[in-house]
């Protein structure tokens, strides 16, 4: 079987998973950006819809953030990482129904969580506002999906691994540990006093930098060389980027506690590590932008690449600005200001969403026999997404510096100084809502409603042939030796369960040592 | 390391747990067991017997009010921390007599430090003389009435509004337009909580840095966070 045929087999096994996660993600993106626009409108007109308790700013804002992070981010992460792992590991998705069921549980848990926030059950910890009662369901669903990632990776034929695989597997481990330890320290065995603030910062940084960012990195590392047909520039440094990201990121948000009721070394370490993010960001940017730079015209003409590379560029610029602003002398100006939204927005809307859009537009024709949306619609979506996120980012930097200077260095009223930037933020959030509408429209344009595109007949055919295909696989990049030594192992239900238990047991052993 | 599944798993886990061990476990060990203390210590460095211990417990009403504060998401716009001298100008603004210390939060199930100041800091909301119960209730009902440019969200659902028939009802507030608002229990809890917010005691590790009386009386405008200096045009964005 040729490489193309093998890829088709893998892709066929992935169809139903892709449909589910991409459409769920799009739905959450719509809801999340809608809530974000509503929250932004309420900062401009505080009396807007103020009669409804469940639409209070303090409820809509966390609802939007959680819908975006867990709903949009989570679904796209599962979809993207399962597919990239399957392709790179040369393994089809076993029992694709199970990740879909786990995804349903995940989405159900988030729905209850968002309703819980609107009903006033939120926790005070940022990016963890969903009430504690949904955590177990979220975590269970995540572990099931995590098991699938690991099974796919484990069943790979090649011995060489690629950066995308490290990041996809890393993200699985990091989310599992972060979510578990965060709940342990904040809810199950809560630490006292302001140690909670340190854990909350650690948790939020990990979720952004070690869950969303790695998958976005993985998408860029996968798509850019693949579409351009060239090797990644300076790839030998990629592993260093992986390690330094993991070393620096968990600490990098602590600068927000400067001057606060925590030991002074905590925010100091935060600033140091925020500046140390220079290494992973530079290596990633160098790899991806360096590779893309070799054929800029092609990058611009290919709409998927245009999304991914522009997202990388936005991320790189913002991450460098973030490092400058993390220097204590500057962060004392921006502390507690509008700048507090900057990191979330550039990671989620600047890097992650752009990469996920790019991957989706690349995937649709690949998975569904050339079906794709109108090129003009996709290009319009690109411009709307870029302008929306740019407005928000410009507003939070500019507004953070001007408002923060008055609030932290002066005596006066910073409200008047920040109000134009709140309006700018509203404009940006509205554009992002429009961008979400465009994304959903493009999906619909390409494949109609998800249930229309689902093709159970082909699905079963694919599954039947797959085991035979696999043993005969002689893809271009597989040597005869690989095939001889690595026989494909049929995956049984026992292996799934064993892997899950192994992961949990491994984590348990390490905890008991460390704690 | 990245060639095998176990290599990747071990590498990822160990490096992440490194931050957990040297950040979270380290802070927890450093000050996770802070106790209550008297305002100053005796010559042996131990807590003075029979002296009152700080931070004091807050009332049950205030504890319930914290839940209301949390459920309305006030923490999205208000901090509860006075920063150290030299970081920002919190004490100059009259938000506290001294910086907040970790010990100030040991009684709280969930300290609400906050990351945003769209409005003023509330660490010492309970010590501000102008923030009477009535002023707070009116502010919660409609912040724009006392501070026109405020972006604080009105909370009409915490009140029942009706026409005044004869005299203003007991415990209700006259809005001046023929209607009155009577606060619900949640509104009273929230006000009880706001009035309980006070770091107006000295700790052995941190004495007052600002003279108490002068500072409190000097705060002029109702509700707003105020700096004692003369040229200020006061904060309205709460």
pLDDT at B228: 41
Average pLDDT for B15-38: 93
For residue B78 the two structure tokens come to 């208000």
Taking the CA of residue B186 and the nearest CA in chain A, the distance in Å comes to 12
Tell me if A62 and B76 make a contact (CB, 8 A cut-off). Answer: yes
Q: Is there a cis peptide before residue B55, judged by omega within 30 degrees of 0?
A: yes
φ, ψ at B93 (rounded to 5°): -80, -5
Using the CB atoms, write b or e for A303-318: b if 16+ within 10 Å: bbbbbbbbbbbbbbeb
Euclidean distance between CA atoms A81 and A78, whole angstroms: 5
Q: Check residue A254 and report its DSSP letter.
A: G
Q: Which of residues 117-176 of A touch B (CB under 8 A)?
A: 120-124, 126, 150, 153-154, 159-161, 165-166, 169-170, 173-174
Tell me if A332 and B87 make a contact (CB, 8 A cut-off). Answer: yes
The model's pLDDT over B204-231, given as tens digits with 9 standing for 90+, comes to 999 999 887 654 444 444 444 444 443 4
Q: Which of residues 212-241 of A touch B (CB under 8 A)?
A: 239
CB atoms < 10 A from the CB of A366, how many? 17
Tell me if A259 and B70 make a contact (CB, 8 A cut-off). Answer: no
Give, in order, the Cα–Cα distances in Å from A215 to each of A77, A85, A513, B235.
6, 11, 29, 43
Tell me if A415 and B150 make a contact (CB, 8 A cut-off). Answer: yes
Highest mean pLDDT among A274-278, A502-506, B146-150: A274-278
pLDDT at A167 over 90: yes
pLDDT at A121 over 70: yes
CB atoms < 10 A from the CB of B131, how many? 21
3-state SS of chain B is CCCCHHHHHHHHHHHHHHHHHHHHHHHHHHHCCCCCEECCECCCCCECCCCCEECCCCCHHHHHHHHHHHHCCHHHCCCCCCCCCCCCCCCCCCCCCCCCCHHHHCCCCCCCCCCCCCCCCCCCHHHCCCCCHHHHHHHHHCHHHHCCCCCCCCCHHHEEEEECCCCCCCCCEECCCCEEEEECHHHHHHHHHHHHCCCCCCECCECCCCCHHHHHHHCCCCCCCCCCCCCCCCCCCC
Average pLDDT for B81-92: 92
Residues facing residue B179 across a β-bridge: B163
pLDDT at A505: 64
pLDDT at A372: 85
Do residues A214 and A163 touch, judged by C-beta distance below 8 A? Answer: no
pLDDT at A367 over 80: yes
- Where are the domains positioned within chain B? 33-238
pLDDT at B50: 83
Question: DSSP 3-state assignment of A410?
Answer: coil
**Residue B237's closest CA among B78, B29, B108?**
B78
pLDDT at B225: 41
Taking the CA of residue B49 and the nearest CA in chain A, the distance in Å comes to 24
Of the listed ranges A333-342, A347-356, A499-508, B89-98, the one predicted with least confidence: A499-508
Architecture of domain B33-238: Orthogonal Bundle (1.10)
Average pLDDT for B37-51: 85
pLDDT at A256: 93
Q: To the nearest whole percent, how much of chain A has pLDDT over 90? A: 76
Of the listed ranges A275-289, A303-317, A473-487, B23-37, the one predicted with least confidence: A473-487
Do residues A56 and B155 touch, judged by C-beta distance below 8 A? Answer: yes
Query: Domains, chain A, ranges and CATH?
Result: 3-514 (1.20.210.10)
Tell me if B81 and A56 make a contact (CB, 8 A cut-off). Answer: no
For residue A172 the two structure tokens come to 């699985």
ipTM of predicted assembly, 2 dp: 0.87
Of the listed ranges A173-182, A484-493, B187-196, the one predicted with least confidence: A484-493
Give, in order, the Cα–Cα distances in Å from A347 to each of A216, A230, A355.
9, 27, 11
Q: For residue B160, which residues of chain A lie inside 8 Å, CB to CB?
A: none
Residue A461 pLDDT class (50, 70, 90 cuts): very low
What average pLDDT is seen over chain A? 88
Tell me if B153 and A57 make a contact (CB, 8 A cut-off). Answer: yes
Looking at per-residue pLDDT, the higher value among A448 and B97 belongs to: B97
What strands, in cross-sheet order, belong to the sheet with B179-183? B159-163, B179-183, B173-174
Q: For residue B25, which residues of chain A lie inside 8 Å, CB to CB?
A: 514-515
pLDDT at A502: 62
Interior angle at CA A101, CA A96 and CA A103, nearest 5: 95
pLDDT at B38: 87
What average pLDDT is seen over chain B? 86
The model's pLDDT over A40-92, given as tens digits with 9 standing for 90+, comes to 999 999 999 999 999 999 999 999 999 999 999 999 999 999 999 999 988 88
Looking at per-residue pLDDT, the higher value among A35 and A447 belongs to: A35
The model's pLDDT over A259-295, given as tens digits with 9 standing for 90+, comes to 999 999 999 999 999 999 999 999 999 999 999 999 9
């Amino acid at each position: 079987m040729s490489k193309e045929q093998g890829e088709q087999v893998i892709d066929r096994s992935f169809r139903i998973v892709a449909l589910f996660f991409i459409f769920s993600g799009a739905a959450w993106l719509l809801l999340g950006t809608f809530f974000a626009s509503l929250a932004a409108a309420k900062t401009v007109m505080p009396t807007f819809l103020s009669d409804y308790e469940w639409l209070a700013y303090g409820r809509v804002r966390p609802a939007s953030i959680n819908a975006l992070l867990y709903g949009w981010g989570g679904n796209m992460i599962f979809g993207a990482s399962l597919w990239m792992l399957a392709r790179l590991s040369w393994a089809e998705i076993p029992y694709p129904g199970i990740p879909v069921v786990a995804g349903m549980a995940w989405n159900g848990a988030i729905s209850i969580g968002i309703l819980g926030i609107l009903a006033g059950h939120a926790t005070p910890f940022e990016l963890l506002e969903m009430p504690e009662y949904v955590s177990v369901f979220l975590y269970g669903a995540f572990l099931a999906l995590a098991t699938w990632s690991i099974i796919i990776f484990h069943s790979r034929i090649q011995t060489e691994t690629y950066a995308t695989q490290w990041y996809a597997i890393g993200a699985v481990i990091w989310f599992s540990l972060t979510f578990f330890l965060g709940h342990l320290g904040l809810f199950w065995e809560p630490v006292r006093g302001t140690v909670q603030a340190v854990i909350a910062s650690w948790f939020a940084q990990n979720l952004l930098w070690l869950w969303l960012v790695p998958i976005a990195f993985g998408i860029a590392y996968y798509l850019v060389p693949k579409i351009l047909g060239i090797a990644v520039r300076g790839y030998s440094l990629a592993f260093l980027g992986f390690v330094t990201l993991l070393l620096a990121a968990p600490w990098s948000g602590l600068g927000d506690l400067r001057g606060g009721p925590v030991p002074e070394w905590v925010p100091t370490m935060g600033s140091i590590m925020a500046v140390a993010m220079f290494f992973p960001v530079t290596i990633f940017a160098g790899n991806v932008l360096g590779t893309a730079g070799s054929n800029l015209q092609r990058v611009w003409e290919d709409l998927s690449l245009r999304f991914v590379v522009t997202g990388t560029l936005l991320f790189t610029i913002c991450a460098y600005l973030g490092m400058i602003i993390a220097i204590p002398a500057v962060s004392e100006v921006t502390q507690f200001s509008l700048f507090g939204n900057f990191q979330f927005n550039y990671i989620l809307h600047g890097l992650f969403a752009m990469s996920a859009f790019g991957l989706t537009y690349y995937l649709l024709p690949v998975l569904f026999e050339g079906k794709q949306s109108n090129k003009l619609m996709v290009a319009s979506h690109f411009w709307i997404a870029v302008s929306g996120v740019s407005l928000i980012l410009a507003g939070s930097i500019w507004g953070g510096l001007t408002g923060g200077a008055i609030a932290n260095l002066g005596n006066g009223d910073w409200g008047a100084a920040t109000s134009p930037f709140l309006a700018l933020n509203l404009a940006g959030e509205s554009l992002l809502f429009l961008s979400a509408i465009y994304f959903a429209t493009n999906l619909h344009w390409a494949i109609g409603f998800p249930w229309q595109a689902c093709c159970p007949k082909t699905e079963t055919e694919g599954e039947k042939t797959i085991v035979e295909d696999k043993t005969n696989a002689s893809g271009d990049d597989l040597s005869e030796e690989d095939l001889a030594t690595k026989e494909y192992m049929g995956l049984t239900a026992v292996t799934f369960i064993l892997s899950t238990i192994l992961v949990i047991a491994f984590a348990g052993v390490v905890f008991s040592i460390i704690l | 390391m990245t060639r095998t599944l176990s290599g990747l798993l071990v590498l990822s886990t160990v490096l992440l747990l490194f931050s957990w061990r040297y950040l979270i476990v380290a802070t927890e060990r450093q000050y996770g067991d802070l106790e209550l203390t008297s305002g100053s210590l005796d010559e042996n460095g131990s807590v003075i017997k029979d002296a009152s211990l700080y931070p004091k417990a807050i009332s049950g009403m205030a504890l319930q009010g914290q839940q209301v504060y949390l459920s309305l998401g006030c923490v999205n716009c208000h901090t509860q921390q006075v920063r150290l001298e030299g970081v920002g100008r919190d004490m100059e603004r009259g938000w506290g007599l001294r910086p907040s210390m970790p010990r100030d939060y040991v009684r709280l199930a969930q300290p609400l430090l906050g990351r945003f100041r769209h409005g003023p800091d509330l660490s010492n909301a309970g010590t501000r003389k102008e923030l009477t119960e009535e002023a707070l209730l009116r502010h919660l009902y409609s912040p724009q009435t006392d501070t026109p440019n405020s972006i604080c969200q009105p909370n009409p659902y915490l009140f029942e509004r009706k026409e005044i028939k004869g005299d203003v009802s007991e415990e209700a507030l006259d809005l001046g337009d023929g209607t009155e608002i009577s606060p619900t229990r949640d509104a009273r809890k929230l006000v009880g909580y706001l009035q309980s917010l006070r770091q107006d005691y000295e700790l052995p590790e941190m004495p007052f840095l600002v003279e108490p009386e002068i500072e409190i009386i000097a705060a002029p405008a109702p509700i707003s966070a105020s700096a004692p200096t003369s040229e200020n045009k006061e904060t309205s964005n709460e």
